[in-house]
A and B are shown apart, each in its own frame.
Chain A
Amino acid sequence: MGEVILTMKNIDKSFPGVHALDHVDFELKRGEVHALMGENGAGKSTLMKVLTGIYTKDSGTITYEGREVEFHNTHDAQAAGIVIVHQELNMVGDLTVAQNIFIGREFKKGFMIDDRKMIQESKKLFDELHINIDPKAKMSDLTVGKQQMCEIAKAISHQAKVIIFDEPSAALTEKEIEDLFAIIRDLRKQNLGIIYISHRMDEIKVITDRVTVMRDGAYVGTLITDECTKEDIINMMVGRVIYEDPKTHSMVPADAPVVLKVEHLNAGKMVQDVSFELRKGEILGFSGLMGAGRTETARALFGADPKTGGDIYINGKKVTINSPEDAVKNGIGYLSEDRKRFGIVVQKTITENSTLATLPKYMSGLFINKSAEKEVTERYIKELDTKTPSADQLVVNLSGGNQQKVVIAKWLVRNCDILIFDEPTRGIDVGAKNEIYKLMNRLAAEGKSIIMISSEMTEILRMSDRIIVMCEGKKTGEISIEEATQEAIMDKATRDIK
C-alpha cells in the first residue's frame, strides 16, 4: 500500500425524512483494495454517489490527491480519474465492444468515426489487462462476465486512479470471478486505489486489504482484512451474531410422501429430460453454474414458459400445467430470481401485492373487501417482520429484503403447498438473508415443500435436505445432504463443460 490518495471526512447527507449519511469517514490508499461493506440501505451507494458527484453532500470534505475537491457530476469525477464500474452494466448490446468502450468520445477522421483506431486502442487496453476479447464482437454476444471485463477496460481507459466496483461479482460464475480478481490484483500492482462493494463475505477475505463497515448511514469502523475474521465483519455490520447453522442431515422423515413428481421435463435447449421428486416438508436444493437451466426448469414447471414434453404429478395425480394460472391452481408458488421484473408490482402497495395471487378470496360480491385484505396483509407484515410504516406503503419504497418478504407473503397468503424459491437471497443483506433462511426452515417444518435454486454454494449446503445438480440443461446428479461437499457438487456442475 502506498500513500493516501483519497480521504472523505465527516460526510453528511440528508434526504427528506432520511439521514442517509451521518458524518462518515473513509480513506483509500494507492495500491489498495478497500472493501466497503454494510447491509442494504447502510449508505454505501450514497457515499459513492457523493464521491462521484451524483449527489451533493450537505457537509464534510473530500480530499483527493492532496487537494480538496467537489465534483458536480460523474463527468467531473471521471476527468479527475475516479470511475465506477456499475452493478448493472451500461452497455449498448447492438454495438461492438470497441464502440462501447469509446462511446461518447469516439475517435474521428474528419466527420467520420474512426472504427479502426478504436479497435486498435481497445486491443491495447485488453492486452494490458491480459483479457482475451475480440473488440469487433457484438456486445450482446458476450457473456455477462466478458461484458463486465469490457466495463472495467472502459473505466481504465479514462486514465483512472480510483476505481469503484459496485457488486461486480453478483452475476459472474466462479471462473469469471477468478478472472476478475486477477485483473483487480493487476490494477493494485499498478498502484490504483480500488473500492470494492460486495455482499459476499468470502470474496472480501480473498481480494481486499482493508474493510470499512457502515451501518444505518454511519461509519462503524475500518479493519485490516488479514487481521479479522468473517464474524468480526458481520458483527460490525449488524451488531449481532447471525446465520442458521448448516444442515448436517435431512430433516425429512423417511416416510414423507412425494408431493411433486416431474418426469422427463423438456423445454428447449435449457431443459432436457429433467426428472425429480419433491417430498413433503423437504427443501430440495438446485445447484449449478449460471445458465445450467435451473431457472428454466422452474419456469417450465410453473407454466411460465412453454414446455415441449414431460409429465407432472402432484400428490400422485397427473396434472396439466400450461400457464402460471394452472400452476397456482395446483398449489405451486414461484418466487422469481428477478424480483423487480417478475415478482413485485413496484408502484402498488404492499396490500395490493400481497393479495395479487389470491384476490378472488377477498371479494365480497363484486367488490374487493379492503378491510379483510388489509387485515391479512398486516398479519403477514408482522409474521415476516417486514419493515414498513404501513400496509399502504408502495413496494418501491422498501429495501430489497423487505420486497422479497412481500413476494413471499403473496404465496403464503395463497397457502401454496409447493414453493419454488429462485435465488431467494440475491441482492439481500446478511441480516435479511438469515430471516429468510429461518422462514424457509419453518415453512418446511410446517409441511410445505420447497424447491430452492441457488448459485451460492454455502446457501445450498446450509439449507437443502437433498441437492440436485444441473449442467447445460441436464440433470447431472442428485446428492443427499449427508454426502454433499462443495467439491462433489462442483464436479457434477461442470461435468458436461469441456
Chain B
Amino acid sequence: MENIKQNPVVKKLGFNRIILFCILLLMYGVFSVIIPGFASMDRIMSILNYTYFLGFLALGVTFVIATGGIDFSIGPVMFCCALMAGYTLNTHGAPVIVSLIMSIVIGFCFGCFNGYLVAFVGVPPFIVSMATMNIAKGLGSVFTKTQSVSWPQGNDPSGKGWFRNLVKVGDFPIGLLIFAVAVVILYIVMNNTKAGRYILCLGSNKEAVRLSGVNVRKWQMLAYVICGALVGIAAIFFVGAYTTVQPGLGDTYNNEAIASCVMGGTSMAGGLASIGGTVIGVLVISLLQEGIMALRMTKEVQMIITGIIVIVFVYADVSARRRRN
C-alpha cells in the first residue's frame, strides 16, 4: 500500500483522486447491474447534462475555495442568470446570442460584487455569499415577476433554439467537448499562471504573500470574478439541458458543487486545489443523482449518500495530511 502511494505517477495524480475515480467506475458498474438498461447511451447523455452545469459551478467555486473563501451563492446566481437572460429573450425579443452573453455578464457582475466585498471591504466570505444568495433569488423573482421562464426548444419555429447545439447536436455531446476544453484551460490557469499561483499561495498564507509585495486584494477578488463568470456559463448549460427555470431556487446546487470540490481534494482551509479532482467529484455526483432517480428513490436519498461520501473523503484527506506533518 505504501509502495503504491510512493509511486511517482500515483503521487502526481493524487492517491485519493485515483480512489475516487475507482469509486466512480465501481458505482457505474453497480448501477448497471442492478438497474436494467442503465448502461445505455441515453443514460450517459442524461448524466452528462447534469455534469456540464454542475461542473462549471464546481470549477468556479474551486477557485474561491482555493483562496480559503467560500461561495454559497453560486446555485441561486446561476438561476438568476438563467431567469434574467431567458426573460429578456422571451419577453423583450432579444437575440439568443445577446441573452447568452447577458447570462455570463450577470454572473461576472455577481462575482465582482462578492469579490470586492470580500477582498477590499473585508466582509467574511460566508456572510457575503449568504447575502448574495438572497439577493440573487430576489432579483430573479422580481425581474421575471415571479414567473418561471422556459427557454426555446430546439425545434422552436423562431429558430431561437440553436443554443441547444452547445449541449448536443443529434446524439453527439458537443457539451462534453466544450467542457473538456474549459477544464484544460482552467487547469492551466490554476497551475501555470500568475493568477493561479497567487490565488493558491494567498489561500495558504495571505499575509506572507502580501508582505512579498503582491497586491493580494486584487488576486483574491479575481478568484470570485472567475467563479462568477463560470456560474454564468453554467446557467447556459442548465437551460440548454433542462429548459425551465423556477425563481427562488438553486440552493441544492451550492452543496453539490462544494461537495464535488471537497471530495476531489480541494482543501476548505485554502491553498490546495485540484481541478482534476473537482471534475471527478462532479462526475460522481452526476452519476449518483442519475442512479438514484433510476432507482425511483427521492433526491433526499442522494443527499444522504453525497453527505457520507464527502465526510469519508474529507476525513481521508485530512488524516493523510496530518500523518505527513
Contact = CB atoms under 8 A, between A and B. Distances in A.
B215 interface: yes
Nearest to A335: B211
B188 A356 contact: no
A352 B196 CA distance: 12
Interface in B142-199: 188, 192-194, 197-198
A310 interface: no
Interface string A175-195: 000000000000000000000
Interface in A453-482: none
A341 B200 CA distance: 16
Nearest to A357: B212
A324 interface: yes
A357 B197 CA distance: 12
A344 B208 contact: yes
Interface stretch (A227-235, A366-374, A431-439): A366-374
B215 A367 contact: no
Interface in B208-237: 208-215
B192 A341 contact: no
A344 B201 CA distance: 10
Given A324-B210, A324-B212, A396-B325, A368 B193 contact: yes
Contacts of A347: 204, 271-272
Contacts of B211: 302, 304, 324, 334, 336, 342-343
Contacts of A249: none
Nearest to B207: A342
Contacts of B204: 345-348
Sort chain B's interface into a size bin. Answer: 20 to 34
Nearest to B189: A366
A352 B213 contact: no
Interface stretch (A18-26, A40-48, A325-333): A325-333
A93 interface: no
Given A328-B213, A347-B272, A370 B192 contact: yes
A304 B2 CA distance: 44
- The binding surface of chain B is classed by DSSP as helix
B214 A345 contact: no
Contact of B212 (A16, A329, A363, A410): A410
A464 B171 CA distance: 76
B298 interface: no
A356 B207 contact: no
Interface in A423-450: none
Contacts, number: 72
A334 to B, nearest CB: 6
Given A346-B205, A347-B204, A348-B204, A367 B271 contact: no
B194 A363 contact: yes
Nearest to B210: A324
Most chain B CB neighbours (cut-off 10 Å) among A329, A348, A357:
A348
Most chain B CB neighbours (cut-off 10 Å) among A328, A336, A356, A410:
A356
B307 to A, nearest CB: 27
A325 B213 contact: yes
Given A341-B207, A341-B208, A345-B209, A356 B192 contact: no
A316 interface: no
A344 B214 contact: no
Contacts of B197: 352, 359, 368
Nearest to A394: B324
A360 interface: yes
Contacts of B213: 324-325, 327-329, 357, 414
Most chain B CB neighbours (cut-off 10 Å) among A304, A325, A347, A410:
A347
A336 B207 CA distance: 11
Given A327-B213, A356-B201, A345 B271 contact: yes
A348 B200 contact: yes
Contact of B205 (A16, A329, A344, A366): A344
Contacts of A414: 213
A494 to B, nearest CB: 31
A147 B271 CA distance: 33
B271 A357 contact: no
A302 B210 CA distance: 11
Contact of B271 (A325, A336, A341, A348): A348
Nearest to A329: B213
Contacts of B271: 345, 347-348
Contacts of A346: 204-205
Contacts of A366: 193
B148 to A, nearest CB: 41
A325 B215 contact: yes
A366 B211 CA distance: 24
A356 B272 CA distance: 16
Contacts of A324: 210-214
14 contacts: A304-B211, A324-B211, A325-B213, A342-B207, A343-B211, A345-B201, A345-B271, A346-B204, A348-B200, A356-B208, A356-B212, A357-B213, A366-B193, A368-B194
Interface of A: 16, 302, 304, 323-325, 327-329, 334, 336, 341-348, 352, 356-357, 359-360, 363, 366-368, 370, 396, 410, 414
Report the 8 A-B pairs with minimum CB-CB distance, sorted nearest first.
A328-B213, A357-B212, A356-B212, A345-B205, A347-B204, A345-B204, A367-B192, A345-B201
